[in-house]
Structure 1
Amino acid sequence: MASRSPTPTASQGRTPRRRPADRREVILRVAAKAFSGSGYHAVRLDDIAEAAGISAPALYRHFPNKYALFAETARSLADALAAATEAVPISPDDPTTELRGLLSALTAAAVDNRRTGGIYHWEADYLIGDDAQYVRAIVVAQHRRIRGVLYACRPDLDAASADLITAAMTSAVASPATHRTALAARQIVALITDAAMSLTDVELPPQAPIDRTGGGLSPTSKREVLLAESIRLFAARGFREVTIDDIARAADLPPSGVYRHFESKAAILQAAFWRASDRVTAMISDALARAATPREAIVALVTAYCDMCCTNNDILAVYASEIGNVEPRQRTELRAQQRINVEEWAGWLTRDRPELTPVQARFLVQAALNVTMDLTRPRRRPSAERVSALGLRLLLADHTPGGSHRVDLGQ
């Protein structure tokens, strides 16, 4: 009788699995996409491990917890931005060329990181200690260099205006990382760099006094009070840090009173987002009703949106950082409505500037919206009139009537 061959062991008969040399980099890339798309709190380490093709214990060998992984992705993104600007030669005799080079390099970095660059919207909210200082140092150094070159181009600028224009420029060139509209990378870089450069000689109106008293009457409906107080708490502390008890106390209700109107905290967030989406849609209709030409439509849209952002910046800040906490189907529907609104803006822009394709117009609209949202988030935000001037310049460039660089904001 022929002897039976021994049964192959687990190590025989198949090629052993090799650990990829760049496993840490793979984890970081997957994590950056997840954090960018869903926000910090909505991401689970098990999901990142699965997407990276590794086990959860293997991921923990590289990163002890979610915060450590998030901090490393934010540092990596900051490093990429620093490398992009450091490669641009300093040109004291030609500041315009240097400025264009810096903005082009940052736009290219945003295009390279379109699936991961959304982290910049909320890294300041979640980074702590040395991580926050590390990223902030890079952001501040980048801002100071661009501002210094801008000063060389326009020595007449006052400090506040130079800071505001610099912030608008950097927000504009980061905007390709905030949406998924398709266009060749080379065309994106050229289009957005030109738009950001158009801000170099924008004429800003004087800073108008801002009413911070929060005037007006508060709603009496318990549902409306709950929504208003929830948005305020989410903006101040983050969705995950706010409890139903916190919301109930702020609304002067027992916790059971919250559940009479909303089945969960996530349901409150979802209702708030739809309320914000409805406001934007209504704002577009109202603005168009006041316009008689495509140019008037664009001016009305920009000024109305800036006004809304300045008076409702809490909900917009929450939308930017907490959209990942809405259930996937609702998140998809919200983003679909957002795309419809962007296409409405873009349609009027192409009517006013027929040299633009619809896709190019959408990129410019996204840049203007991103700048508006970013500039109205800080506590010491500029007036709506100054933000409107920047948004209009991004959309219209030097295509104002008679070739003038000024845009009439009077409505």
Structure 2
Amino acid sequence: MTSTRDAALHADVDRPSRREQILRAAAQLFAERGSRAVGVDDVGAAVGVTGPAIYRHFASKDAMLAEMLLRISERLADGGRECVAAAGADAAEQLRALIAFQVEFALDNPALIVVHDRDLTSLPESEAGQVRRLQRRYVEVWVAVLARLHPEAEAAACRARAHAVFGLINSTPHSTGRLDQGSLRDLLRRTAWAAATA
């Protein structure tokens, strides 16, 4: 039988850090209102602290935005490579793994998708450039797999195909709630596969 102390320790492990709580709350608020319309006090209120307490974790609201966009870009770039490696040598299996990975990311992070689409240009150029470089790394993982499935296609065509698939999957912020998540996951995987292999 699990003791109260063990349960408390387990809860502490599962509980996100204050920094993580701040980033999640900021992402949700930025998605709803746009980063420019959200103040530090708003983010603080969402996590139950005063606005000035946020400054113990982030130098500014822009620092929050930069970290959330850099983190998701790193996660996608690293995760894409890991998916391909784990799928083995078959390009079709690699593509299935990439599609499943992107679909799960989109279903789990609709707010981050909205923030990225709308607020990337709000970052200072140095940080926006870092985000774009990481995104290019992720795209090139897809391009390499698609090039093996479409050996007759030029790299530019494979890149365009990858972006088309991202657009399809990342439309989830506009469809969340209209289908149950299982049905939406299945629909996205099937339609993304059709778009990638057509």
Q: TM-score range by the shorter chain?
A: 0.7 to 0.9
- Find the counterpart in structure 2 of residue 166 from structure 1: 162
Residues 31 and 131 of structure 1: CA distance in aligned 2, closer, same or farther (over 3 Å):
same
* Contact persistence 1:31–1:48 (CA under 8 A): yes
Residues 79 and 37 of structure 1: CA distance in aligned 2, closer, same or farther (over 3 Å):
farther
Partners of 1:77 and 1:93 lie apart in 2 by: 27
Partners of 1:80 and 1:23 lie apart in 2 by: 20
* Contact persistence 2:106–2:172 (CA under 8 A): yes
For 1:1-12, list aligned pairs within 5 A: none
For 1:206-285, list aligned pairs within 5 A: none
Is residue 194 of structure 2 the alignment partner of residue 194 of structure 1? no
One-letter amino acid of the structure 1 residue matched with residue 67 of structure 2: E
Partners of 2:192 and 2:16 lie apart in 1 by: 40
For 1:19-58, list aligned pairs within 5 A: 22-58=17-53
CA deviation map 1:260-291 (0-9, x unaligned): xxxxxxxxxxxxxxxxxxxxxxxxxxxxxxxx
* Contact persistence 2:121–2:128 (CA under 8 A): no
Partners of 2:84 and 2:161 lie apart in 1 by: 22
Is residue 143 of structure 2 the alignment partner of residue 154 of structure 1? no
* Contact persistence 1:110–1:117 (CA under 8 A): yes
User: Shift of the alpha carbon at 1:83?
Assistant: 4.5
Partners of 1:124 and 1:32 lie apart in 2 by: 13
- Find the counterpart in structure 1 of residue 76 from structure 2: 81
Q: Secondary structure at the match of 2:163?
A: helix
CA deviation map 1:353-382 (0-9, x unaligned): xxxxxxxxxxxxxxxxxxxxxxxxxxxxxx
Q: Select the structure of larger CA radius of gyration.
A: 1
Partners of 1:173 and 1:114 lie apart in 2 by: 11
Structure (1/2) with the larger helix percentage: 2
* Contact persistence 1:82–1:142 (CA under 8 A): yes
Identity rate of aligned residues, in percent?
A: 27
How well do the aligned residues superpose, as a CA RMSD in angstroms?
2.1
For 1:126-141, list aligned pairs within 5 A: 126-141=122-137
Partners of 1:106 and 1:152 lie apart in 2 by: 19
- Find the counterpart in structure 1 of residue 12 from structure 2: none
* Contact persistence 1:99–1:150 (CA under 8 A): yes
Moved over 4 A (4+): none
Residues 47 and 201 of structure 1: CA distance in aligned 2, closer, same or farther (over 3 Å):
same
Residues 195 and 53 of structure 1: CA distance in aligned 2, closer, same or farther (over 3 Å):
same
- Find the counterpart in structure 2 of residue 355 from structure 1: none
Residues 168 and 73 of structure 1: CA distance in aligned 2, closer, same or farther (over 3 Å):
same
* Contact persistence 2:81–2:141 (CA under 8 A): no
- Find the counterpart in structure 2 of residue 358 from structure 1: none
Q: Flag the structure with more relative contact order, 1 or 2, with Cα contacts below 8 A and sequence separation at least 6.
A: 2
* Contact persistence 1:173–1:196 (CA under 8 A): yes
Q: Secondary structure at the match of 1:160?
A: helix
Partners of 2:174 and 2:149 lie apart in 1 by: 29
User: Shift of the alpha carbon at 1:35?
Assistant: 1.2
One-letter amino acid of the structure 2 residue matched with residue 156 of structure 1: E
Partners of 1:21 and 1:183 lie apart in 2 by: 28
* Contact persistence 1:116–1:177 (CA under 8 A): no
Q: Structure 1-normalised TM-score?
A: 0.42
* Contact persistence 1:27–1:48 (CA under 8 A): yes
Partners of 2:197 and 2:112 lie apart in 1 by: 31
Residues 115 and 129 of structure 1: CA distance in aligned 2, closer, same or farther (over 3 Å):
closer
User: Shift of the alpha carbon at 1:71?
Assistant: 0.8
What is the aligned counterpart of 2:60 among 62, 65, 87? Answer: 65
CA deviation map 1:307-344 (0-9, x unaligned): xxxxxxxxxxxxxxxxxxxxxxxxxxxxxxxxxxxxxx
Partners of 1:55 and 1:136 lie apart in 2 by: 33
